Amino acid sequence: MLNNLNQKIPPTYLKIDQATKESGFTMASDILTCSLLKTLAAAKPAGKFLELGTGTGLSTAWILEGMDKNSTLISFDHDEKFLSIAQQYLGQDERLALVLSDGEDWVKNNLGQKFDYIFADTWHGKYLLLDEVLEMLNPGGLYIVDDMLPQSNWPEGHEEKAINFVKYLESRRDLTLTKQNWATGIIIAVKK
């Protein structure tokens, strides 16, 4: 088996990818991760989806592609410039709510919400307010993170944070998880 993609790329992804390159956004999710996000999204029909950290909407486009018509996705980011690219190409999808918000504000204002699928791709829900975001998972809900292998843009001291984050996830009795040494390093956890 080869690692090549061999699957349909969402047409919006190609447009967003072009706009992303022109915008100077450097934190984009890689395409292998995006394809996994799509596959896992298909496992949650009529699901409630949450993405923390929209960026320009690259991963959002793939998650939407995997979701069925009865599912909904909330995705937030604090950067208006990058979020506007997602809005331009994905904003017409009625299943999607794009929110301009700081992560801390969004999480603290939405503690009562429950989700079947969470892609945590910013500080909040990963290195900050982790317990609060894990509490938002329904039983059987998926929690997904990428960038768990050392990345060239990691600031000094980040590797230790990543190691502690993994240890903490492993210590949680309410999560069943798999760590994948693949793409940028993926963890998939399922809430008991």
Ligand X SMILES: C[S@@+](CC[C@H](N)C(=O)[O-])C[C@H]1O[C@@H](n2cnc3c(N)ncnc32)[C@H](O)[C@@H]1O
Place of tokens 């990058």: 82
Q: Which of residues 91-110 bind ligand X (CB under 6 A)?
A: 102-103
Q: Using CA atoms, how far apart are residues 162 and 179, in angstroms rounded to an integer?
A: 13
121 is an interface residue for ligand X by CB under 6 A: yes
Q: How far is the CB of 174 from ligand X (least distance, A)?
A: 25
What the block records as the tokens of 185 is: 């390093």
For position 125 contacting ligand X by CB under 6 A, the verdict is no
Rule CB under 6 A: choose which of 10, 53, 66, 141 binds ligand X.
Answer: 53
Percentage helix, strand, coil for the chain under 3-state DSSP, each rounded to 5: 35, 25, 40
**For ligand X, which residue of 72, 110, 123, 166 counts as binding (CB under 6 A)?**
123
Residue 79 or residue 135: which is nearer to ligand X going by CB? 79
Pair 3, 31: CB distance under 8 Å? no
Of 74-82, 131-139, 148-156, 174-182, the segment contacting ligand X by CB under 6 A is: 74-82
Q: Which one-letter DSSP state was computed for residue 11?
A: H
CB of 107 to ligand X, least distance (A): 9
Tell me the angle at which helices 58-66 and 80-90 cross, rounded to the nearest 10 degrees: 30
Query: Quick check: 117 binds ligand X (CB under 6 A)?
Result: no
Q: Which is nearer to ligand X, 18 or 192 (CB)?
A: 18
The helix/strand/coil state of 103 is helix
Contact flag: residue 65 with ligand X (CB under 6 A): no
Does 129 bind ligand X (CB under 6 A)? Our answer is no
- Out of 13, 49, 82, 117, name the contact with ligand X by CB under 6 A: 82
b/e per residue, 104-122, with b = 16+ CB within 10 A? eebbeebeeeebbbbbbbb
Q: Which residues bind ligand X (CB under 6 A)?
A: 27-29, 53, 55-56, 58-59, 77-79, 82, 102-103, 121-123
